[in-house]
Structure 1
């Protein structure tokens, strides 16, 4: 489901999600499985980006707050291990907000407006009356997140490449102003898995689109969603030739069916005619039930002790706070500001204050 990670060792990785709801199959194929593999030989931090979730959910703070624990349950249920991966809550790290403010002085509004990811996401959300300033500055906030952990590798979808590029522009601006390397450049690791389509065939699988199979869905809900999946509207009879392109059932079989040869054989038969949609849907249902059953069971067991989930996030956030403040000190020094490290509060600008 993703690029091999066998050659990746000793990297400092920052990744994460905005908590706006439980995670789904698209996350599993696109990022979660990759993170589980990366944690074995790298220093990985997963950031629960609740502040960034508010950039387009400011009117629904309760939704974001409740989703924090839902996302944490999904993380742990798929195999992310607190002994190997640090989990941190964005709003618990004040250094990130200050770094964002400092970096905003190095980025122009026209540059933010040219960011392809921001343009695409702005159109998708259909902001009425203009784009919230917080959302427009999302790339700057993400740059603060990445650099605050001294990360040098960010696994993310191909659509995130413009955000990584803008992060490196900010890194270069800070280093240029300092005259030395204060921040590290970031490499982008794009997984091989394509973005999964929604069950309705209309765009990508997403929580907000209501077209996703959640990792926490019960068996009957998985089955119901599979049976509703978009296939080929021109494939009216079993003997009719069918199209596999744009066919959601085949997209998910290609992503999750371990028998690659059988998937290719079924695709050939479907294109030639003589294979019904229900045969494919029953196969996919069986595969997804087997895939999600252990995840769902682990999730239910973890949910029985919410205090333990909160403790994992609290411990990781406290650890991350020290790391991020160290980086903030370096950046504050570049801007001529007082730091914890140098304790420059006896500088003239302070002694002259009344």
Structure 2
């Protein structure tokens, strides 16, 4: 149909609650895109295993998956229109991963720069086989639901390009099964952490979470890094690169207030206390609507799990059909069917002989 929405796939690993950095980097964009696309959100617990695979990590992923869904809903994703699903609940995607592995070479995977960075950030001296194949499993994720669009930042363009290569090679070898997914490149922002030293991260304990209450936000803002050279309020301070003002620009809609604070900060006529107090107000005003949506969905026990389970069941039926089309195109189904028919013919012949 001409008015059919294109299908979009994106998602998160279930490693914990989402924070303001996630909102700036991905969630805000997803909320906008859901109006234009049929959205599928993968909870990528198999990808999580490349860096977090202890029994405790896996056990925690159940609760974390619900956190991911709840944070997305709180941010504005409509759970009755979007589809959330658990990657490990779709075993057929592992079969697709196996079939795709033979369409790509190890040197091609080794040229993807982000894999080495991921291994280093996870403290891995050597790259696990699963991490090297991470982009191939990503290709299976994208293509299993025949996604036509994938939102990516510059860091992940290489991953999507590999998916496109795999889809083209499969279609060329075996016949047209997959659409060639397009990238949706947008401004994928990053947000410095409250410590001012690195981008906001769960592991660095420098994050303000979407689920933090007002008091927690106030406490974290109070302890934020500012201009380390400014030991007194009457000393002119630096606005550029100052985390407190970065947060003001990102989350405070009152541009006149920001401009006034910046001017007085540069002159040394406003203290960090006032700047932070106004940031606390702005952040809590920003998070309050999310808190209301969160409370609504969190209060219904089992509802988040229901979104995931029903979404996973829906996706699995689609992926079964995709795998059927793959096997048929490759000829794998006919190999098995020829063998099975010969065995059936032989068994019928033996049965007839025994009856005689």
Q: TM-score, normalised by structure 2?
A: 0.88
Residues 102-122 of structure 1: CA deviation (Å, up to 9, x unaligned): 111112222222211112211
Aligned to 2:162: 166
- Partners of 2:181 and 2:256 in 1: CA distance: 37
**1:71 positional shift:** 1.3
Asked if structure 2 preserves the Cα contact closer than 8 Å seen for 1:23 and 1:215, the reply is yes
Residue of structure 2 equivalent to 1:5: none
Structure 2 counterpart of 1:37, from 24, 32, 36: 32
Which residue of the other structure, out of 111, 114, 133, is the alignment partner of 1:137?
A: 133
Q: Is the 8 A contact 2:116 2:127 kept in 1?
A: no
| Residue matched to 1:151 | 147
Looking at CA atoms only, which structure, 1 or 2, has the larger radius of gyration? 2
Which position in structure 2 is the counterpart of 1:99?
96
Runs of 5+ consecutive residues of structure 2 not aligned to the other structure: 347-356
TM-score (ref. length: structure 1): 0.89
> Distance between the aligned counterparts of 1:93 and 1:175, measured in 2?
23
Task: Please report the RMSD computed on the Cα atoms of aligned residues, expressed in angstroms.
Answer: 2.3
Q: Which runs of 5+ in 1 are unaligned?
A: 1-7
2:271 matched to which residue of 1? Answer: 276
Greater fraction helix: 2
- Runs of 4+ aligned residues of structure 1 deviating over 6 Å after TM superposition are none
Tell me how far apart the structure 1 counterparts of residues 96 and 15 of structure 2 sit (CA, whole Å).
24
Task: Name the stretch that deviates more: 303-312 or 20-29.
Answer: 303-312
Match of 2:212 in 1: 217
Which residue is equivalent to 1:333?
328
* 2:316 pairs with one of 318, 321, 342: 321
Which deviates more from structure 2 when the two are superposed, residues 244-253 or residues 80-89?
A: 244-253
Q: Number of residue pairs matched? A: 341
Which aligned pairs between 1:157-306 and structure 2 lie closer than 5 A? Answer: 157-178=153-174, 180-306=175-301
Task: Determine which of 67, 71, 75 is the counterpart of 1:70.
Answer: 67
Residue 347 of structure 1 pairs with residue 338 of structure 2: yes
Q: Deviations over 1:301-346 (max 9, x none)?
A: 32232312111111111111122222222322343222xxxx7742
